[in-house]
Amino acid sequence: MAAAGVVDGRWGAVGLASLAGLVLSIRLDEPGWFDNEGRFAEVAREMVVLGDWITPRVNFFPLLTKPPLTQWLAALVYQLTGPSEWARLVPIACAALTIFVTCRLGSRLYGGRTGLVAGLMLATSVGFVLEARTLRPDCLVILTVTAAIWCWHVAETGTPIRRARWLAGMYAALGVGMLAKGFVAPLLVAAPIGIATLRDHGVRGVVRLRPLFGLVVIAAVMLPWHVAAALANPGFAWDYVVNQHLLFALDKKEPRDSDGDTLAFFWQMFVGRASPWVMFTPFALNEAIAPGADPARRATALLATWVAGIVAIFSLTPSRLEHYSLPALPAVALLAARALQRTRETGVGGALRAWTIGLGIVLVVGGLFGVRRGEALAASAYWLPQAPDLMALIKPASLVACWAGLLLVVAAIARSAASIVAAWAAGTTPFLAILVLALIEAEPLFSWRPVARALERVPPATEIVFQAPVEYQIVGALVFYLERPVTMLEPPGGYTPPTYLRGHMQGMFIGRDELERRWTSGRPVALVTDPQQRRDTPDGLVPHPFHVLDRFGDRWVLTNFPVASAH
């Protein structure tokens, strides 16, 4: 079955990946950059402006917390489109390639048809769709982890020469992952590849992985930039290796510019991002622990350790963030596709039927509650009523939940595996469309583009001051849209710079006293407040008199001079 899968479905995988890329690209320029995207978008713009592709910068100060591959690729897009949100083509391309690789890996593990089903499931997973439209390194990491495991699996069944080529591909993929997001990529493949190697070949199997050869390949890919950045930025090497990796994993990094998510929230978001297809995976996992050397059982065990390894690594790390589980999504899709394949072979059993009916009932009840009470409940979140178009999506989303639930119940009663999958797909697709539309409608609350447009109403000579949190990098999107540097107010309690920044702190921040002096000097000044702090009024932020130019969610835009209304 696996051997036939190698040749089946190749063009189907190409077609599915291409179609998914086109669909995911619809309205790709909307919304404007949010906080997290903006730092990568602006670093790429400053690379183009300054012509320096070694030292990433935001607001024209070095920012060396992440390797620059994502920013390099975004800068290449800018060469074609100019600085714009179309830099999201980078994660879209990574998502399309990941779908292709998932299909090919699934074809090897379970056959061409199941590989295509896995690719379709991945393409309609909630977290994957959202990440494909987000400019940050995580889609690159998903791709490189999936590609590395695919290359390893091909190498396992090849001739010595073919094996060497595919192992080189595996290590090159890991090197690319390290150039995208640091040293984490090899850790993410350690569990599935390591456990499978020990299971099949014992301790001597480590030699089959040719680790010294792998180090050479990885170094050839990722070392040149790291060396160049260290030579150009004294203090970078220590900060990058010790502070950004070791101390970050222990939640002791300085500056304290990120707070880890709770373990419960991390697990909940993993399930949410892997939905809806994670609901099928329990019906494949029993195969992973079954005795015997059947290739399908080994394949399912590989996928199970892939998921478990990633979730376990970040569960043990107090600095975990909810999206760190994303590289497990291809394995979830492959497990769900295997569950469907087994169900097609054996029929819909009582457990799957009861599980599906139960999920359908939960969706119907939740949807009905959303229709009746959803808007009132959402209104209790103080920021949602500021985006009435976003509130208007609650009822359609609730109706979609009812629709999906009814379809699931009917499909389960019919005892058809294909109908159950079709019901999930028919319910998920409109929900994903609503979810993407919700992000677009949330632009006034979270995007920096409306803030920059409001500031177009002030005279060009106005000094723009940003009330920076410790995570000051979120100023990137504002600088991107203004296309000029922004003055940053020092975070409360001061700022502990990483070692590479200590020679660049002159002029990076101004203090509170200096802000008040400039505010009352008679020169035009505008203040954009910290979006990470809730404020119901702008009182106390600046000396009187001040004028409210606009408000966007938790961001107030104040001036020390009157500005004509935009209306």
Share of the chain above pLDDT 90, in %: 73
Cis peptide preceding 327, ω within 30 of 0: no
User: In this structure, how many other beta carbons lie within 10 angstroms of the beta carbon of residue 20?
Assistant: 24
pLDDT digits (tens, 9 = 90+) for 282-332: 999 888 887 667 889 999 999 999 999 999 999 998 889 999 999 999 999
φ, ψ dihedrals at 418, nearest 5°: -60, -40
Whether residue 401 is predicted with pLDDT greater than 80 in this model: the reply is yes
Higher confidence at residue 564 or residue 432? 432
Query: How much is the mean pLDDT over the chain?
Result: 92
Rounded CA-CA distance 269/266 in Å is: 5
pLDDT in tens, 136-154: 999 999 999 999 999 999 9
Q: What are phi and psi of 30, to 5 degrees?
A: -120, 140
pLDDT at site 363: 93
Residue 123 has pLDDT above 60, yes or no: yes
pLDDT tens digits, 195-221: 999 988 888 888 989 999 999 999 999
| Identity of the residue numbered 193 | I
Strands 525-528, 487-489: parallel, antiparallel or unpaired by DSSP? unpaired
> How many CB atoms neighbour CB 66 within 10 A?
20
pLDDT at 14: 95
**Alpha-carbon distance 513 to 63, whole Å?**
26
Other C-beta atoms within 10 Å of 252: how many? 12
Confidence (pLDDT) at 421? 86
Which residues fall within 8 angstroms of residue 567, CB to CB, at 6 or more apart? none
Q: What is the reported pLDDT for 3?
A: 42
What is the phi/psi pair of residue 213, to 5°? Answer: -60, -40
The tens digit of pLDDT for each residue in 85-120 reads: 999 999 999 999 999 999 999 999 999 999 999 999
Q: In the chain, pLDDT over 70 holds for what percent of residues?
A: 98
User: How many C-beta neighbours within 10 Å does residue 272 have?
Assistant: 12
Q: What pLDDT score does 292 carry?
A: 67
* C-alpha–C-alpha distance, residues 486 and 420, integer Å: 53
Strand partners, 547: 559
User: Residue 229 CB: number of other CB atoms within 10 A?
Assistant: 20
pLDDT band, residue 171 (cuts 50/70/90): very high
Q: Tell me the C-alpha to C-alpha distance, in Å, between residue 435 and each of 17, 126, 359, 373, 390.
A: 21, 9, 20, 19, 10
* Distance from C-alpha of 528 to C-alpha of 454, rounded to nearest angstrom: 11
How confident is the model at residue 4, as a pLDDT? 42
Per-residue pLDDT, 336? 96
pLDDT, residue 567, reads 53
What does the pLDDT average to over 239-265? 85
Which pLDDT belongs to residue 248? Answer: 82
> What pLDDT is attached to residue 227?
97
Q: How far is CA 45 from the centre of its chain?
A: 21
Is residue 2 pLDDT above 80, yes or no?
no
CA separation for the pair 555, 567 (Å, rounded):
20
d(CA 316, CA 329): 19
Instruction: Please determine, for residue 510, whether its predicted confidence score (pLDDT) is greater than 90.
Output: yes
Quick one: pLDDT at residue 1?
Answer: 40
Provide the angle, in degrees to the nearest 10, between the axes of the packed helices 69-81 and 160-181. 80
Mean pLDDT of the 14-30 span = 95
Question: Residue type for 127, please?
Answer: G
Chain centroid to CA 370: how far? 28
Q: What are phi and psi of 550, to 5 degrees?
A: -175, 170
Contact 240, 226 (CB under 8 A): yes
Helix (H) or strand (E) holding 260: none
Average pLDDT over residues 462-486: 96
**pLDDT for 566:** 61
pLDDT at 556: 95
Confidence tier at 358 by pLDDT (50, 70, 90): very high
